[in-house]
Structure 1
């Protein structure tokens, strides 16, 4: 905005100087102007540079200076050129009454000057008709320019309003969709997970009541179902309030690793670098990647030995999950919902994801997440 203002000021100054140069050149061709004449022409013309900021003041200064020059030097009709420009600027800025008054006063005063200095009424009438046409054109074009600028502003405002309306409609539809998903999740998953948690709790209670040892798998089911209920509630809250859940980050890595070990996975976790100051979206995405990878190990890799390595550098967070499952080198991997969601998370942050069989045996998941996320386009 400041650059546009400076550019307009420079353009207006150059235009005012050009008008002054034209009038001075005409004065020199007609006669030899004195110092006072040049001063009046320069003041009346250069004042036009401020026509955007103070159009009425410019109109008054230009009209007085050029009329003073007309009285002193009796020049030709070209003396009215700066006044015509000032009338146009005043009309364009909405000061029609002042523009008409200045034009009429200058015409009347210049008529008296012509009647005194120029012999012959016919020549005077012809000059006055010519100047009257100039002033009428200046006033009309000023009004047209004013209306055109108002039309452009209204068009731009309508476009902004339409864009704002589209954005509000999109946000409203997104909010409605979030609420619908939240209702579906609540009505379907909450009940099922509650039943699993309840049944697991009853089984653990009965086993302890009978004095028998509780199976680790049963305890893992009880813990996992409770954790699933907590995460489902957090997800429903996010869907209903559009707030990022602060409880799904790498600060819960120990808890996640404990559940994985309780489920029978031989797990080793290595952390390199400070994870406490990670961006919230990167932190949450890294946690979900590890969580999904361990879930896949439990489902598809027969709880094989797994290693998790999380490395932070100055620019990127690298998450690697390797397992020793039955996947053979060169095997075909069909991405399911888990891997697809994992890739979507990484892509949304501008990172890269590799999900491939390992060179000897097992499966590898490797994600690189930039610490200043480059949002994916499209």
Structure 2
């Protein structure tokens, strides 16, 4: 059953139960008439709003119960809506209202019945009947309080688990930051220094500096900048996504220039109306192009590449093609990471060998959802 229909079904079921209980109850001072039916139906229907307005609903059901009993209608069916309202009121921390309702039912109901029947005509079981009714009401209040406390304890336990998991994640994040700093930073710095020394010596000897050496120097310098920015994010903000804020398509020209220096001619085309992108989309698009061009440099052999960025309504499409040897059917770590980035944004990613030659990577990223 639909969740939206369950509360309505419960209320209608309560209406049926109270009416059946009143009709089948033993005879009383007054037979059930239209006024009695209206009191029962009104009290039962009012419970539909007990979750949103527990105190007003409790007041309505209590008044209906007192009026029903004071007029001498048969049975105690009118107490069922009050019990439901008491339960919801205590669940909502309205204990004072519940206490006032129970007191009003005990004092008002018994007094009204005593005044109605007159002196010497009160049934011998009247007090017992009212005390039993109050007992059910108190039981509903106690049950609601127990449920509320259990829910609160569950919330506290969940919060404790979340805090423990967050603390462990922070510790792991800092450990990763330290490991990255101690290993990659040292290695990349050493590569950059050695490349710089080689360039300096070549120029000092008036020798031509190999283009590959300049590419190594520039690439290692760029890698150090990105790694340093990532480490700052890891250390400073546990809610960050681990990406430097400066990474985005605005640096696409530098990325392409690095691939060209590595020996891969790259052609870039941009279609659609350029606009500012949400940072997650901007970073993911940059990383897709970066990983795709890296794969072309490493695996495609002698090849040329093309990068196409298309700005669409509500989404961004990025495609990188090459005409080299193609790639493996099974994705490696880079393509797997690319797929995870795209999936996190709710986008789609397709990659694989092209029909003629080479390899193709295409991603479509939703812009509005990420914003």
8 Å contact kept, 1:307–1:321? yes
> CA deviation digits over 1:162-197, x for unaligned, max 9?
222222222222222221111111110000111111
Larger radius of gyration: 1
TM-score by length of 2: 0.75
Q: What does 1:29-108 correspond to in 2, within 5 Å?
A: 53=55, 78=73, 93-95=98-100, 96-106=102-112, 108=114
Alignment of 1:310 onto 2:305: no
8 Å contact kept, 1:197–1:226? yes
CA distance in 2, matches of 1:87, 1:235: 60
8 Å contact kept, 1:88–1:138? no
Q: What does 1:258-269 correspond to in 2, within 5 Å?
A: 258-269=257-268
Name the structure 2 match of 1:237: 232
Aligned CA RMSD, in angstroms, stands at: 4.0
CA distance in 2, matches of 1:305, 1:65: 89
Name the structure 2 match of 1:340: 336
CA distance in 1, matches of 2:77, 2:194: 94
Unaligned runs of 5+ in 2: 48-53, 88-97
| Pair 1:137–1:91, CA change in 2 (3 A) | farther
Name the structure 2 match of 1:321: 320
8 Å contact kept, 2:215–2:262? yes
Name the structure 2 match of 1:220: 215
Structure 2 counterpart of 1:354, from 350, 353, 361: 350
Name the structure 1 match of 2:170: 175
> CA deviation digits over 1:43-84, x for unaligned, max 9?
9879967795355797679758975x6xxxxxxx64795997
Q: Give the stretch that moved more between structures: 99-108 or 49-58.
A: 49-58
Task: State the SS of the aligned residue for 1:129.
Answer: coil
In the TM superposition, residue 139 of structure 1 has moved relative to its aligned partner by 0.6
8 Å contact kept, 2:15–2:40? no
TM-score by length of 1: 0.74
CA distance in 2, matches of 1:107, 1:313: 76
Name the structure 1 match of 2:278: 279
| Pair 1:174–1:275, CA change in 2 (3 A) | farther
> CA deviation digits over 1:206-227, x for unaligned, max 9?
2222222222211111110110
> CA deviation digits over 1:284-321, x for unaligned, max 9?
11111110111112222235211111112224322221
8 Å contact kept, 1:87–1:138? no
Unaligned runs of 5+ in 1: 70-76, 116-123
CA distance in 2, matches of 1:42, 1:357: 76
Name the structure 1 match of 2:146: 151
Name the structure 2 match of 1:290: 289
| Pair 1:86–1:346, CA change in 2 (3 A) | closer
8 Å contact kept, 1:80–1:131? no
| Pair 1:128–1:84, CA change in 2 (3 A) | farther
CA distance in 1, matches of 2:351, 2:104: 77
Structure 2 counterpart of 1:363, from 350, 353, 359: 359
Task: State the SS of the aligned residue for 1:269.
Answer: strand
In the TM superposition, residue 160 of structure 1 has moved relative to its aligned partner by 2.1
How many residue pairs end up in the alignment? Answer: 340
CA distance in 1, matches of 2:211, 2:286: 24
> CA deviation digits over 1:135-184, x for unaligned, max 9?
01111000001111112212222222222222222222222222111111
8 Å contact kept, 1:107–1:132? no
